[in-house]
Structure 1
Amino acid sequence: MMTQTKAADGHLFDCWIEPAKSERKGGIVILQEIFGVTDQLKGVAAIYAALGYEVAIPALFDRQERGVVVPFDKGPKGRDLMLAAKLDETMVDVAAAVAALAKNGGKVGVIGFCWGGGLAIRAAQTLDIAAAVAFYGTRLPQYLDRPLKAPMQGHWGTQDDHVPAEMLAEAQAYLPQMEVHTYTAGHAFANDARPSYVPDVAAKAHARTQAFLQKHLG
């Protein structure tokens, strides 16, 4: 269900909450692509809720345009909204979503996709979380300015034109504690609503993610 969450600076934003479907293990914040809180992401939330996690998806574009969900074939609009977002403000909203789940008990982790994958790295650097996972996180150079505080796992396709091999190598060198997995795939390989979807690769990446979160969240 869609709820509202208040950030530390008073900003009120939408946040999709998927309750845990079994005994609650903890919480997971899912960080969006450049398309907003999509039905596809809600489907991902349902998968992790079935494993016992309460899941939150904060609407990180609400500071730019409230309630916006960008169609997958309108990438330039999503990119413009992403470029208009200020990293520090976005992370205030992520922190609020983390805090909302933490209030309900247990440890909290973060999973981010695309733009949100890069934000997951920032979360592991700055927020009080138990672990973070990036799926094809983008804009990596801007996050190479401080060490990780939380365990971090990342998944990238070797054919991802958003993240060239040298960019990923630079990130691995700067963040040597980050567990990195690469796959023969392009960008957005885990998005089952887009042509880039690679089912077997997505399944492998999610299995590794679930094991990683089980280890660090319980």
Structure 2
Amino acid sequence: MNIKLKAKDGHAFDCWVQAAEGKAIGGLVIVQEIFGVTDQLIAVAKQYAKQGLNVAIPALFDRQQPGTVVPFDQASIGLHLMQDAKVDENLADIRASVEELSKGGLDVAVMGFCWGGGLAVRCAQVLDIRCAVSFYGTRLSNYMNQPLAVPVQGHFGDQDDHVPEALLNEFKALYPQAEIFVYEAGHAFANESRPSYVKDAAELAHERTIRFIKKHLTESV
């Protein structure tokens, strides 16, 4: 369901919240692609809720065009919104979502896709979370200027022109502690609503992700 959250700067935004099935073992903030809080992302939230996670998806585009969900075949609209977004404001909204999920003492992880995958790396540097997962995170070079404060796992395609091999190799060299997996796939290989979907790669990436998240959310219990 959608709820309203407020960031520390006073901005109110929509946030999709999916309650864990059974007893919650922790929280997971999912950071959107350039398409907004899509039905596909909500389906991902439900998938992770079945694993015992309370999930939140903040609507990062609410700062520019509240309620915006961009069709997958109109990426240029989302691209312009992303380019106009400010990282500090994005982080404020993600932080508010983390704080919402942490009520009751639960630890929280962050997972992002595409644009959100890059922001997940920044979250691993500056937010009070347990771990972060980046699915084909873009704009990585923007986030390679601070150390990682928590464990990071990344999933990338070897045919992804958004994340060239040289850039990914630079990222791995800078952050050797990050757990990086590369698949025979292109960009957005885990989005089953797009032609780029690669079922085997997506399923394996999600299996690895849930093991990683559960490990780091429960190791302090």
Whether TM exceeds 0.5 here: the answer is yes
Structure 2: unaligned runs, 5 residues or longer: none
Q: 1:67-78 counterparts in 2 under 5 A?
A: 67-78=67-78
Report the 3-state secondary structure (helix = DSSP H, G, I; strand = E; otherwise coil) of the residue aligned with 2:78.
helix
| Residue matched to 1:99 | 99
In structure 1, what is the equivalent of residue 24 of structure 2? 24
Q: CA deviation at 1:21?
A: 1.0
The residue that corresponds to 2:128 in the other structure is 128
* Off by >6 Å, runs of 4+ in structure 1: none
Alignment of 1:162-201 (within 5 A): 162-201=162-201
Q: CA RMSD in A?
A: 0.6
In the aligned structure 2, how far is the partner of 1:102 from the partner of 1:175? 27
TM-score (norm 1): 0.99
Tell me the amino acid that sits aligned with residue 4 of structure 2.
Q
Distance 2:40 2:206 in 1: 15
Whole-Å Cα distance in 2 between the matches of residues 179 and 127 of structure 1?
A: 19
Aligned amino acid, residue 104 of structure 1 = G
What is the TM-score normalised by the length of structure 2? 0.98
1:34-183 equivalences in 2 (<5 Å): 34-183=34-183
Q: Which stretch shows the higher mean deviation, 172-181 or 48-57?
A: 172-181
Deviation sequence 1:16-48 (CA, Å, 0-9, x none): 000011111010000000000000000000000
Q: Indicate the SS of the match to 2:128.
A: coil
> Alignment partner of 2:45: what SS?
helix
Provide, for residues 88-107 of structure 1, a one-character-per-residue CA deviation record: whole Å limited to 9, x for no partner: 11111111100110113321
Give the Cα separation in 1 of the matches to 2:155 and 2:43. 19
Q: Which amino acid aligns with 2:189?
A: F
Q: Matched residues in 2 for 1:65 and 1:36: separation?
A: 10
Q: Percent identity?
A: 58
Using the alignment, how far apart are the partners of 1:99 and 1:198 within structure 2? 34
